[in-house]
Structure 1
Amino acid sequence: MSEPTMPDPREVLRLEGVRKSFNLGTPLESEVLHGIDLRLRAGELTALIGPSGSGKSTLLNVIGLLDPPSAGELYLLGRPTRMVDDETRTRLRNEAIGFVFQFHHLISAFSVLDNVLMPLMIRHGKPSATEIDLARSLLDEVGLAAYADKKPTQISGGQQQRVAIARALVTRPPLLLADEPTGNLDTRTAQSVFELFHRINAQFGCAVLVVTHDPRLAANCARTVQLVDGQIVSDALNSPLDG
C-alpha cells in the first residue's frame, strides 16, 4: 500500500474529478464539465484558454464558488467545498477569492477609492483607517494614487480596469480569478494591464487564474491550461515571450 500524499502547503486550489451538469433529472440534462483535475499553488500565474463553448465560464464559476460542482470535489485552501451550505460558501468566496471581469462593474456614483473599498464595506460596513490606507496603497501599486477622489467616468477604460484589480486585491485573497480582463481594451492598454497582473502576482504571491482568448498574453503566463469540450486537454509550463 502506498503512503498517503502529504498536503502541499502552497496549494491554494485543488479540483478532483469535478463535473458540472445543468437541468439535472430532466430530459434536458447536459454535462458541461467532464471530470476536471486541476491544482493551483500560491504564486502561480496561469492562463485558461479554449474555444467558445468549451466550458471556461462554467469552470470559472465553479472555481469561484458561484456554482457548486455536480460531482467531484473542490478544495480551497485545503478545505472541501462542494457540500458546504450557502452561507459558508459565500463567506469562503468573500474571504479567499478576488474577481476581475472583462467589464469592470465599477459604481459610477462612488469615487475610485470607495470602489476599491467596496468589498470591505459589504463585509463589515465603514472601513477602518488601516483599510483606507491599504486601498490607497493598492491604488498606488496600480498607478492611480492621484485618481482616488475621481469618479470612474472621469478615467479611461484601462484605468477603470486597474481600479477593478485593486478592488479585487483589497481583501488580500489567496486566489485571484480574472475573466477576459483585457478583452475590452486596445492592444497597448491590454498589455499594460497584463503586466500589472505579473507584478501583482509576484508581489502578493497569490495564485492567479486568467481566462483569455489572446494567445500572446497566455504565452506570457507561467502556465497554460487548455480546455476543450469540458475537458483539460493540455496543462503546460510556458517560456515567457521576449518583447
Structure 2
Amino acid sequence: MSEQDNLVLRLAGLRKSYNVGKPNELEVLHGIDMQIGAHDFAALVGPSGSGKSTLLNMIGLLDAPTAGELYLLGRPTARMSDAERTALRGAQLGFVFQFHHLIQAFTSIENVLMPLMLTQGKPSSEDREHAMDLLAEVGLHDYANVRPSELSGGQQQRVAIARALVTRPALLLADEPTGNLDTKAAAKVFDLFRRFNKAYNCAVLIVTHDQRLSAACDRSINLVDGRIVSDESNLRS
C-alpha cells in the first residue's frame, strides 16, 4: 500500500473567506496543506481566533471551502452537493465535542445508535450488538438503558464517544473533548481514543487548548492566524 493509499484526509490549498465579494470580505484560512494518515493520532492546536473551529468545520464537511480541495479517502469534496457531503460525513466521520449533545429522552444505547438510525432507519440486531459492544468498551454496558440525566459528565462523554464510533468511521474528530472533565475523567477519555485508534484503525484528530493533551498525541499541528506554522512529531526515536 502506498502512502497516498494510506491517507484518510488530504487538504490542498484550502482557503475559507466570509462575506465574499463584499467590502468586508475576510479570509480566515490561507491555503492550508495537511494530511492525516489512517493510523495518525494528532492534535490541532493554536490560540483562540486562529481558525481551528473554521478548519474543523471544513474537515467535518459541515462547510465548504472558498478555494482549494479537501480529499476524504481520496474523494474530492469541495464541489459535492450538500446531500453528498452529508452521506459521506455520516459514513466516514465521527464527532466528539466538549458538550456531548445527547438526546435526553433517549437511553444510552439509543443515543449510540442515533447516527445509524438517521441513515438507515430502524437498527438491525447486529447494529444493536455492535452498540452494546461499544458501551462495554467504554465501561457502560450496565448503563445501556439509562438516560443521560442519570449519568455523570464523564459517563455522558463516554456515551458520546461510543456514538461517534458506531458507524466505524475512518476519522474521529474531537473538539475540546476533555474541556469540561476533571483530570481523571479526561485521562480516561484520552485512553479510550488511544485504544480505538489502534483497535478500530480509526485516525484521530483532537482540537485542544490543553498543552498536556497535545503533547501526549503522536503529532501536533499548530495553526496560527489561519496558517499552519508547524507540524511536528511528538514521538521519540
2-side partners of 1:198 and 1:124: how far apart?
Answer: 29
Instruction: Give the C-alpha shift of residue 7 in structure 1.
Output: 6.1
**1:67 pairs with one of 53, 63, 67:** 63
2-side partners of 1:98 and 1:115: how far apart?
Answer: 14
2-side partners of 1:140 and 1:216: how far apart?
Answer: 28
Partner of 1:235: 231
Partner of 1:102: 98
Q: Secondary structure at the match of 1:182?
A: coil
**1:129-153 Cα shifts (integer Å, max 9, x gaps):** 0000000000011111111010011
**1:10-52 Cα shifts (integer Å, max 9, x gaps):** 1000000000001111111100000000000111110000000
Count of aligned pairs: 235
TM-score (norm 1): 0.95
Q: Secondary structure at the match of 1:118?
A: helix
Identical pairs, percent: 63
Q: Secondary structure at the match of 1:12?
A: strand
**1:80-134 Cα shifts (integer Å, max 9, x gaps):** 0001111111111111101111100001100000000000011111100000000
Partner of 1:173: 169
2-side partners of 1:69 and 1:56: how far apart?
Answer: 14
Q: Return structure 1 stretches of 4+ with deviation > 2 angstroms.
A: none
Letter paired with 1:182:
T
Q: Is the 8 A contact 1:220 1:239 kept in 2?
A: no
Partner of 2:200: 204
Letter paired with 2:211:
P
Q: How does 1:113-152 map to 2 (within 5 A)?
A: 113-152=109-148
1-side partners of 2:212 and 2:3: how far apart?
Answer: 33
Instruction: Give the C-alpha shift of residue 239 in structure 1.
Output: 3.1
Q: Is the 8 A contact 1:16 1:73 kept in 2?
A: yes
2-side partners of 1:69 and 1:174: how far apart?
Answer: 21
Instruction: Give the C-alpha shift of residue 158 in structure 1.
Output: 0.6
1-side partners of 2:26 and 2:116: how far apart?
Answer: 38
**1:162-182 Cα shifts (integer Å, max 9, x gaps):** 100000000001011000000
1-side partners of 2:113 and 2:24: how far apart?
Answer: 42
1-side partners of 2:119 and 2:75: how far apart?
Answer: 21
* Structure 1 portions without partners, runs of 5+: 1-5
TM-score (norm 2): 0.97
Partner of 2:33: 37
Q: Is 2:20 aligned against 1:56? A: no
Q: Is the 8 A contact 1:17 1:71 kept in 2?
A: yes
Instruction: Give the C-alpha shift of residue 184 in structure 1.
Output: 1.0
2-side partners of 1:196 and 1:84: how far apart?
Answer: 33
Q: Is the 8 A contact 1:219 1:239 kept in 2?
A: no
2-side partners of 1:84 and 1:197: how far apart?
Answer: 30
**1:53-96 Cα shifts (integer Å, max 9, x gaps):** 00000000000000101000000000100011111111111111
